[in-house]
Amino acid sequence: MAQLSKTRPVQLSNNEHRLIAVIPAYNEDRFIGSVVIKTRQHVRDIIVVDDGSSDQTSYVAEGAGAKVVRHKTNQGKGAALNTGLEAARRLNADIVVFMDADGQHDPAAIKTIIKPIIEQQADIVIGSRFLDRPNRAPLYRQIGQRAITFLTNTASGVQVTDSWSGFRALSRRAIEVMYFRETGWGIEPEIQFQAGKYSLKTVEVAVDVDYSEPAKRNPIVHGIRTLTGIARLLTRHRPLAALGVMGTASSLVGIGAGLWVVDRYLQLGQLAGGVALISVALIILGTLTLYTAIIMYSIQETFINLAQGLYTSTKPDVLDPTVSHDISREP
């Protein structure tokens, strides 16, 4: 601890920027203490959001010097980051760094992560594991990571090399507008969708990641949940693109089937009744889907703003992170 007290936090430009690290944690008492201690060498304020852990995560994080906010029940990483961002806003954060609690991220890279924001070159900075360096993850994870990144890039319109990195920095502008509706592990792609939605400039910097610990989740189950999350994000953030494509495809198939029925009747004098019914059903389904896309797009902004207001109004106690809190979304 003597060495820690002699180590100065990272010096930001003219001390004008307040840097806060937000670390969501769930049953991470094995690692959270060392993560906080190492992070304290680079960041003055650290907020650990204990997402309903059943172990000693909160106790260890507090002992290491972090401010801790607790969820009474496990609500998911997205909910934990929302709580952390609310606390960071109350502390007037200029830059927020997201880090995982399992020790995979090297806090020494924080200076690199925040540099583009300090230089006003970015609103969101992603610590990429694949930028200008080989992928050291196990092969099955490499395949999944590349597939997810491709899908997220295509769906969000924001091109990056690592959609799933949990090591990120947000500028003041991004901090003010970010609110996550994904509660689980779809949170990283949602940041990418919001970057496109709010025109937040996104850049990447290369970082190393420690893969010495085995994966905590079944890769197949995790992959399915991830694809489901991306589908939800696409429908939520780009309803015209998602539902519009599906509605148009359904209508075109229905029209094509209908033309086939008409052609068959004209040539052979036979009416394919079953195909005709399917054709009508597909056209109706496609039309309804297109109308749904238009309606969802129209109410999207109002719904998100309402959700943000409700979240803030129901969390008055979480906004003072100078002491530990126990909170829950349950009424």
Classify burial at 119, counting beta carbons within 10 Å of its beta carbon; exposed 0-12, middle 13-18, buried 19 or more: exposed
Are 210 and 304 found together in one domain? no
In a domain, residue 327? The reply is no
> Looking at residue 68, what is its pLDDT?
95
pLDDT at 73 over 60: yes
Are 208 and 258 found together in one domain? no
> Stretch 170-186: mean pLDDT, rounded?
85
Domain count along the chain: 2
Q: What's the pLDDT band for 271 if we cut at 50, 70, 90? A: confident
> Looking at residue 266, what is its pLDDT?
84
Q: What's the pLDDT band for 149 if we cut at 50, 70, 90? A: confident
Are 183 and 246 found together in one domain? no
Are 189 and 290 found together in one domain? no
Rounded to whole angstroms, what are the CA distances from 207 to 45, 125, 299? Answer: 22, 11, 39
**What is the C-alpha to C-alpha distance for residues 70 and 52, in angstroms, rounded to an integer?**
7
In a domain, residue 322? The reply is no
Are 177 and 245 found together in one domain? no
> Stretch 6-24: mean pLDDT, rounded?
66
> Looking at residue 97, what is its pLDDT?
97
In a domain, residue 83? The reply is yes
Are 191 and 280 found together in one domain? no
Residue that terminates a domain, selected from 196, 218, 237: 237
Are 193 and 293 found together in one domain? no
CATH of the domain at 225: 3.90.550.10
> Stretch 224-228: mean pLDDT, rounded?
62
Query: What's the mean per-residue pLDDT of the chain?
Result: 79
Q: Collapsing DSSP states into helix, strand and coil, what is residue 45?
A: strand
In a domain, residue 23? The reply is yes
Are 128 and 44 found together in one domain? yes
* More confidently predicted of 303 and 328: 303
Are 67 and 99 found together in one domain? yes
> Stretch 230-251: mean pLDDT, rounded?
69
* More confidently predicted of 71 and 181: 71
In a domain, residue 123? The reply is yes
Q: What's the pLDDT band for 326 if we cut at 50, 70, 90? A: low
- The percent of residues in the chain predicted with pLDDT above 70, rounded, is 69
In a domain, residue 118? The reply is yes
Asked if 115 and 97 touch (Cβ cutoff 8 Å), the reply is no
Are 231 and 269 found together in one domain? no
Residue that terminates a domain, selected from 187, 202, 237: 237
Are 224 and 278 found together in one domain? no
Are 59 and 81 found together in one domain? yes
Rounded to whole angstroms, what are the CA distances from 265 to 203, 251, 275, 278? Answer: 59, 21, 12, 16
- The percent of residues in the chain predicted with pLDDT above 90, rounded, is 37
> Stretch 39-62: mean pLDDT, rounded?
94
pLDDT at 327 over 70: no
Q: Collapsing DSSP states into helix, strand and coil, what is residue 24?
A: strand
Q: Which domain holds residue 91?
A: 2-237
In a domain, residue 63? The reply is yes
Q: Collapsing DSSP states into helix, strand and coil, what is residue 66?
A: coil
Residue that terminates a domain, selected from 204, 237, 270: 237
pLDDT at 121 over 50: yes
Strands (E) in 58-186, as ranges, are 67-71, 95-98, 124-128, 168-170
Asked if 179 and 307 touch (Cβ cutoff 8 Å), the reply is yes
Which stretch of 20-34, 281-295, 306-320 has the lowest confidence by average pLDDT?
A: 306-320
* More confidently predicted of 189 and 242: 189
Q: Collapsing DSSP states into helix, strand and coil, what is residue 23?
A: strand
In a domain, residue 330? The reply is no
